[in-house]
A and B are shown apart, each in its own frame.
Chain A
Amino acid sequence: MKAKYIITICLLMIVFISCDKDFLECPPLTEASSVTFFKNASEATMAVNGVYNSLYLYNYIFEWEDALTDNETWNEEGGTWTYGGLANYAETAAGNNAYTYRMWGKGYRTIQRANTAIEGISAMDASLIDDDTRNVLIAECRFLRAWQYHLLAWRFGGVPILLDPVGEQELTPARNTKEEVVQQIIDDYTFASQHLPDTWSGNDLGRAHKGAALGMLAEEYLWNKQWANAANAAKQVIDNSNYGLLDNYQDLFTPGINNTKEDLFGVQYWTANGAYGSYYRYRWFRAPASNTARAGYEFHLALQDLVNEFENSDGTPFDPTGIDVTTDDSQYENRDPRLWSTVFYNGADIYGQPYNRSWSRTGYAWRKYSCSKNDPLLVGSSIPMNWKVMRYAEVLLFYAEAKNETDGPTQDVYNAINQVRSRVGMPDLPTGLTKDEMRERIYHERRVEFASEGVHLEDLIRWRRLEVVENRHLSAGCTYHTDFEEFEYLWPIPQTEIDVNPNLEQNPGY
């Protein structure tokens, strides 16, 4: 009999154990499940911050796009580095260039996070979050999403528009038309401009605000030649007293000066513990340790062609004729002050000692976005500076460009450009320019003002000038691309993507 009691107990134990239904429920511990997230406003904000976080993945993209232009070259001449390869479009033609791959992958990653956040926040019960907060958060996501679609659309053309959150994504989407993508971008920016506040403060500094959305919206209209809409959007930024130019151009690229009234939008880097340091450290130029060896990682080198673009300080174009630009230091005298702020040239101060052109293959290195190795804000080799996506100065030039196209070189146009020039002490543009001459002046001003800020490539695409630049023989030591063809304005969709998505069509020519 005793035994039977025992058996009963044992069997009960089995049943008891088996009744524990949660035994097999072992969800991730140090990560949250996307299904159960969005329980309160704080988690909603975290999900939005996570969209911003995705921007950190864009290292090696924004800051390296100048290497595809006549502004700079990649240091490894003839090497197999992907960016060097992209500069002459060799790998791009094969459809597997790491640069196009990253642009595509990173864009859709940010879009996925934005979609997930938008869907999660939209679905939150009204008791969990008030409408204003909800709209602002969604506006931030739509701002970031629109930016990504902009980056994709103007490089790849009509890309698939994906708006579903994680878990509901379409695995093999087909391409939308470019017009549909542009409409999506404009809708998103418009919504963002309607719901984002004029400014942020405290630990919200760095979030997208109304000025950012309007500036980006203006740019999108420009791309589509909707000049009036562009001018209108830009004007709203100009008329808003929260935004303006900094007095000192050099302050823009001084470590520790961030989120000023000129910074409409930037990727926020923080180096206090190195966690969010930028990776564009290759600009970081360490003063040579000895007198004999060059040091540092100047992987990107400014070209003489860019140096020549800077005007003389009296506003006349610089003419290198008759000067041996490889040896003659007089070329650096009496030039647009932005030349000094942009590049290290022979004899220019580089953190306490003169730069020597022999330290670089082209004779130049970038001063913009560089910092001294003794800078107290420097941790490791990351640069303690935000990446500037859009500055107020650019909106002024957007305005000038749009107005010039609609009304010709009116005083509004002159005022906008001259504001940018006078800030650095350059004389006003001469009066009496034709519409076409003004267009050239705007083109010049943009190249000089935003050199090394990742703007120039987009400008060349937008202005359809890549063909000219790429087919031109540039300065010595620069890889150039002499057989640029029209179809190359659109990048190839990464072949790996086409391999796994049969619905995706490649761009023509590849």
Chain B
Amino acid sequence: MPPVKKILLIMRLSVLLILISVLYSSASVYSQNTRLNLNINNQRIADVFDAIEQQSEFYFFYNRDNFDDNRRVSLKCREKKIDEVLDKLFNDEPVSYEIFDRNILIKAVDDKSVAADQQKTVKGKITDRGGQPLPGVTVVEKGTTNGTVTDIDGNYSISHLGEDAVIQFSFVGMRMQEINVAGRSVIDVVLEQETIGLDEVVAVGYGTQKKMNLTGAVSQVTSDELITQAVTSAAQAIQGRATGVEVIRNNGAPGAEATIRIRGLGTFGNTEPLVLIDGIEGNINNVSSSEIESVNILKDASSCAIYGTRAANGVIIVTTKKGKSGESKIQYNFSSGFSQAQRVPKVLNAKEFVILQNEAAVNNGLPAYYTYEEMAAMGEGTDWIDAILQTGHRNSHNLMFSGGTDKLRYALNGDFLDEKGIVMNSWYKRYNVRLNLDTDVTDWLTIGLNAFGSYSKQHETPNSGENTLLCYAAQYTPTISPKVGGMEGTGGPTHGLPSTQSWWGMDPVTYSDFLSVNRNYNPKYRLISSFFAEFKLMEGLTFKTTWGINKYFSNNKVFNPSYQYYDSLGKEGGGDIVAERLPKDRSLSIRTWDNHSYTITNLLTYTKTFNDVHNLTVLVGHNDQKYENSYYSASVANFSSNSYQYLSLGTEQQAVSEAATHWALRSYFGRLNYDYKGKYLFEFSMRRDASSKFSEKNRWGTFPSASFGWRISDESFMAMYDWIDDMKIRASYGILGNQELGVVNWDTAARISNDFQVAPTTSTVGLYESYSTMNLNSGYAFNNTDIAGAGATKYANPDIKWEEAHMANLGLDMTLFDGAFVVNAEYYNKKTKDLILDVNLPMSVGFYDGANSTYLGNAGEMKNSGFEYTLHYFNRKGDFKFDIRYSGSHNHNEITKLQGGSEGYWLNSQFTTMHKVGEPYGSLGGMKIIGIYQNQAEIDQALQTITERGPVGPGDYIFEDANGDKVINTADAVIQGHTLPTYIMGLTANASYKGFDFNMHVQGDLDKQTVTRVRARFDFSYYHYLNNYDYLLERWHGPGTSDTQARVVLGNAINGGASLSNTQFIQPASYIRIRNVELGYTIPSNVIKKIGLKRVRVYCNVANLATFTKYVGFEVERTGSHQRMDLYPQSRTISLGANITL
């Protein structure tokens, strides 16, 4: 061979080696398919190679220093494969060869390895649990660069395996498997879905990171867990599945939203975390769990600080499903089921009701309403709760088309949800469409589009305020008969009660029917769309720009018709009108919310590895966001008919209004990740934010964080502990901001105006605190005419700034016993300073508004500390596979400072809720009941030492004189509970056997209380004519009959006033719920292949199977300072469903 050829050969060899090192894949089929015919007689080997090269595409490489190509050989073969030819050629020679597609490398080796190499080829097929072939699985011989990927049918073949070779099979989203070849030549593998794994990639701020390299605290919930639940939204689906995350379903009404709190409650204002859906701010309550690939929850300063002033409540990053290059898929999921109320509390029946009414009257010194005979004749009466409950339905359909070519990927997802609630006339319908598309325009440019559209309609039964429909039904007089028919409602006659002593008005069924017409069911439209372009500028350096818009529009139209409802005697029967609206008072109102926000994000990312050991990633970015919200309403009265319900047809009391707000945020941020061999991990991030909400002098805020991780398991001294697969400790510290300044009345779930959830308020609170404003609606009626005026109505606070959370986090991640145990533990401590509170302002400054004189100022401090852990056990061996995960989150919340050095104050005049230094946020309280006066002698004795709150009689509560002043009054109200759970638990079990799979999820909030203010009404102490739950049968009605529940009385003064909270109103609200149980079966692929399907899984799911709690009433989950006893309960839903892949 001439020198030139040798040089060329070396060059080709280099190219080849580079190819090898870069691509393990591209398994050769050429060498397997090409047949050679040779007839060589005593020729040089070099000539043989030439001959082969001429009749095929094979090419030989060898180094003549190691290999004698002048050796003469004879060979005769027909239709032989290249390896057979070569085996003959080098039969007894100390020569080995390797075939890389069409290239054949000849080298001299020792006999042994040649022999081994020749034999060690393994092939097989890789499928998922359902028998579905998995293309693109990486197959690598452990510890080498020898590898391949599976083809479109899931087949692979790997050759030249070393002795005692172990093959690793890995695939994104699947658990990696390692299999010892042990002499086998065919190894078929079933890959399991990954739940916890070190190779998992998690989403972090503006990017992704390998979970094993994380130094911050991030919880992840993946699509597997999300999809196997019959829930309305992804917000509900993550409940109890991530540590440190409290999800509160506000109620069980169709379409009801959930509130999410991460690591306790760190502010008096908005506690909602920042939610980013594919990088654009959105609402996780609107997203169907079928649309989601993963939800990542960033909890500590290290992971959140890159979101600066928006991050103090934590960050939730939602990644929706994207298409993958390769095979196109059509997936269809549906479920259909019915739902029923669980834990329906009993109310008094008619007989019990009248007995208690009588007793109350007598206790007040009035004549009894009923004779004994009348009472005895009273039957069960009407159970109005039963009358308004129904069997609900829930249907959901999700259809996804996904796939892609090597240059374009797509996923189109359509989702439809139809829920009919368990309370009559309640329903929710939602249509979602999502398109994710991206394409490689050139080898350096990728562009893409994420588009999401949603439309929903909803009819809520009255579910807020005093008169939730359930509350109404629970209180409605049981002696009244259900409606007979026609337009006439019921409402009496009152069976002997004075007319003022029974509930007049429409009965609950009529009321609900009445409220379910003449409205447009509040259609809501959402559009979230973003476009991105990603440029690969050079090796390791990319620039990505993303432009997005989030649009929300809703329109709520309600017509109030004229009506007349008579009692059950009817109009003809001479009945009274129980409810009426005159024709002149017909009215129509339309309220419209029209909100949008824009966001632009530019990111520059540089990744490089130096000397194989120093891994560096640097990210710098810029983000601009602008929010523009408007609300307008119009109303008009006096319509000529109930039928024509358009604004232009009303003639009187026309009123229109508009409220508009806007704000903007500009940010610059950067992050540096460095690790040494993946063993020592370091991260530093910083964000600079400027918010329009602050005056110039406080506009810019800086939010740094740093974290460190140490993979101890990679240290040599850990080698002896071979049961530790992986072990990492990490620590982080940083500062987070909160620029949501409004003080939110948390128990009403009010949200502030940048939110896209519920009807956004029109409040400007928190947006313009540094401005003093002239209210232009300050007119005056000169000469009976509305003359415009302007008055300064708000104090400007130029010093207002963001709340600042200082947060430290310690974490431990371990994988033990070959992946059988995964343990994660976190400790955190978060101190929030400069909390925004209503600060008292001297009235002389001139902003008393008729009730208060306050402004928003930075005045409070709060502390949250906690411990979170997850224990996950896997059994992957054999056909019966299962895993069990338990997670627990402790949180301790404490107010450490209030405005003006105050030690604490009650939030309302009923003394139910208090903020107090040293206690958790919103502690519950009231008068403490220490017993019940059993007889007059006890009262007389007590009165010798104390002054009672008023006249008391036997059967009344004994309140504790908490302040020791010998006077029982409101000053004795004390804290008796707290609404924040101190422990949240979650237990998940998954099991599979052959085609069967089973999933169960249990979740609980422990150690919390709630105050049921409505009990004040129920206890016959205020609205004494209302019906009540049957706990009232346990009331005191004679010496020794009760120590806990007072006698029934009429009027509100006797037990200290109905409006005064006491121990009896504070109920335990801890609960444990079996959230989800699902049994599925995947039909074997050979069966369904015949009908053209790839995968079919059918399942049965039970949501909210059971709830364990001591709480009396329907719904325990939502707690607040004014909890109504009868929030719409979460229902038990039993569904059948299927997941079908075409």
Given contacts A23-B664, A32-B790, contact A501 B850 (CB under 8 A): no
B660 at the interface (CB under 8 A from A): yes
- B772 in complex: contacting residue of A17, A26, A33, A105, CB < 8 Å: A33
Is the CB–CB distance between A206 and B782 below 8 Å? yes
Given contacts A46-B790, A109-B847, A109-B848, contact A32 B773 (CB under 8 A): yes
Is the CB–CB distance between A43 and B790 below 8 Å? yes
User: In residues 833-880 of chain B, which contact A (Cβ within 8 Å)?
Assistant: 840-850, 853
Chain B: which residue is nearest A106 at the CB level?
A: B848
B942 at the interface (CB under 8 A from A): no
A282 at the interface (CB under 8 A from B): no
Interface-located stretch among A162-170, A313-321, A363-371: A162-170
Task: Collect the chain B residues with CB atoms within 8 Å of residue A275's CB.
Answer: 779, 781, 786
Report Cα–Cα, A207/B845, bound state, in Å: 25
- B778 in complex: contacting residue of A43, A50, A504, CB < 8 Å: A50
- A31 in complex: contacting residue of B543, B776, B782, CB < 8 Å: B776
A480 at the interface (CB under 8 A from B): no
Is the CB–CB distance between A496 and B840 below 8 Å? yes
**A27 to chain B: closest CB distance in Å?**
6
Report Cα–Cα, A203/B781, bound state, in Å: 9
Given contacts A108-B848, A270-B786, contact A10 B771 (CB under 8 A): no
B186 at the interface (CB under 8 A from A): no
Encode contact with B along A122-141: 1 for CB under 8 Å, 0 otherwise.
00000000000000000000
Report Cα–Cα, A2/B536, bound state, in Å: 11
Task: Collect the chain B residues with CB atoms within 8 Å of residue A504's CB.
Answer: 842
Is the CB–CB distance between A49 and B788 below 8 Å? yes
**B407 to chain A: closest CB distance in Å?**
18
**A447 to chain B: closest CB distance in Å?**
30
Is the CB–CB distance between B780 and A112 below 8 Å? no
Chain B facing A: main interface SS? strand
Interface-located stretch among A52-60, A66-74, A448-456: A52-60
Given contacts A30-B660, A49-B778, contact A7 B543 (CB under 8 A): yes
A268 at the interface (CB under 8 A from B): yes
Report Cα–Cα, A171/B900, bound state, in Å: 15
A248 at the interface (CB under 8 A from B): no
A272 at the interface (CB under 8 A from B): yes
Report Cα–Cα, A162/B844, bound state, in Å: 8
- B764 in complex: contacting residue of A28, A46, A270, CB < 8 Å: A28
B56 at the interface (CB under 8 A from A): no
Task: Collect the chain B residues with CB atoms within 8 Å of residue A113's CB.
Answer: 791-792, 846
Task: Collect the chain A residues with CB atoms within 8 Å of residue B655's CB.
Answer: 273
Report Cα–Cα, A87/B785, bound state, in Å: 37
**B405 to chain A: closest CB distance in Å?**
23
A29 at the interface (CB under 8 A from B): yes
B153 at the interface (CB under 8 A from A): no
Is the CB–CB distance between B773 and A207 below 8 Å? no
Is the CB–CB distance between B622 and A18 below 8 Å? yes
Encode contact with B along A94-121: 1 for CB under 8 Å, 0 otherwise.
0000000110111011011101100000
Given contacts A108-B843, A111-B846, contact A46 B784 (CB under 8 A): no
B666 at the interface (CB under 8 A from A): yes
Is the CB–CB distance between B791 and A50 below 8 Å? yes
Chain A: which residue is nearest B780 at the CB level?
A: A52
Report Cα–Cα, A52/B780, bound state, in Å: 6
Report Cα–Cα, A504/B844, bound state, in Å: 11
Total count of chain A residues near the partner, CB < 8 A = 81
Task: Collect the chain A residues with CB atoms within 8 Å of residue B691's CB.
Answer: 24
Task: Collect the chain A residues with CB atoms within 8 Å of residue B537's CB.
Answer: 3-4, 7
**B720 to chain A: closest CB distance in Å?**
51
A13 at the interface (CB under 8 A from B): yes
A432 at the interface (CB under 8 A from B): no
B602 at the interface (CB under 8 A from A): yes
**A58 to chain B: closest CB distance in Å?**
10
Given contacts A26-B662, A50-B778, A50-B791, contact A17 B600 (CB under 8 A): yes
B626 at the interface (CB under 8 A from A): yes
Task: Collect the chain B residues with CB atoms within 8 Å of residue A4's CB.
Answer: 537
Encode contact with B along A154-166: 1 for CB under 8 Å, 0 otherwise.
0000011010001
Encode contact with B along A266-292: 1 for CB under 8 Å, 0 otherwise.
001110111110000000000000000
Report Cα–Cα, A6/B771, bound state, in Å: 42
Task: Collect the chain A residues with CB atoms within 8 Å of residue B776's CB.
Answer: 30-32, 46
Report Cα–Cα, A108/B792, bound state, in Å: 12
Report Cα–Cα, A27/B624, bound state, in Å: 18
Is the CB–CB distance between A166 and B781 below 8 Å? no
Is the CB–CB distance between A112 and B787 below 8 Å? no
Is the CB–CB distance between A205 and B791 below 8 Å? no
Is the CB–CB distance between A29 and B844 below 8 Å? no
A37 at the interface (CB under 8 A from B): yes
Chain B: which residue is nearest A56 at the CB level?
A: B780
Is the CB–CB distance between B845 and A108 below 8 Å? yes
A438 at the interface (CB under 8 A from B): no
Is the CB–CB distance between B781 and A501 below 8 Å? no
B783 at the interface (CB under 8 A from A): yes
Given contacts A23-B666, A49-B779, A205-B783, contact A31 B773 (CB under 8 A): yes
Report Cα–Cα, A207/B780, bound state, in Å: 10
Is the CB–CB distance between B772 and A167 below 8 Å? yes
**B306 to chain A: closest CB distance in Å?**
18
Given contacts A46-B788, A258-B784, A268-B781, contact A105 B775 (CB under 8 A): no
Report Cα–Cα, A396/B886, bound state, in Å: 87
Report Cα–Cα, A496/B790, bound state, in Å: 28
Is the CB–CB distance between B624 and A17 below 8 Å? yes
A497 at the interface (CB under 8 A from B): yes
Task: Collect the chain B residues with CB atoms within 8 Å of residue A7's CB.
Answer: 535, 537, 543
User: In residues 478-510 of chain A, which contact B (Cβ within 8 Å)?
Assistant: 494, 496-497, 499-501, 504
**B583 to chain A: closest CB distance in Å?**
18
Report Cα–Cα, A7/B789, bound state, in Å: 54
Given contacts A23-B664, A53-B779, contact A28 B768 (CB under 8 A): yes
Is the CB–CB distance between B660 and A29 below 8 Å? yes
Is the CB–CB distance between B782 and A207 below 8 Å? yes
Report Cα–Cα, A33/B776, bound state, in Å: 10
Task: Collect the chain B residues with CB atoms within 8 Å of residue A159's CB.
Answer: 844
7 A-B Cβ contacts within 8 A?
A: A31-B773, A35-B772, A49-B782, A104-B844, A166-B795, A204-B782, A270-B786
- Which residues of B are in contact with A by a Cβ distance under 8 Å? 442, 444-445, 535-538, 543, 545, 600, 602, 622, 624, 626, 653, 655, 658-664, 666, 690-692, 699, 764, 767-768, 771-776, 778-796, 840-850, 853, 900
Seed contacts A167-B772, A504-B842; 12 additional CB < 8 Å A-B pairs: A3-B536, A24-B666, A28-B661, A32-B790, A50-B775, A50-B792, A106-B848, A108-B848, A204-B782, A270-B784, A275-B781, A276-B781
Those 3 A-B pairs whose CB atoms lie nearest each other, nearest first = A112-B846, A105-B848, A49-B789
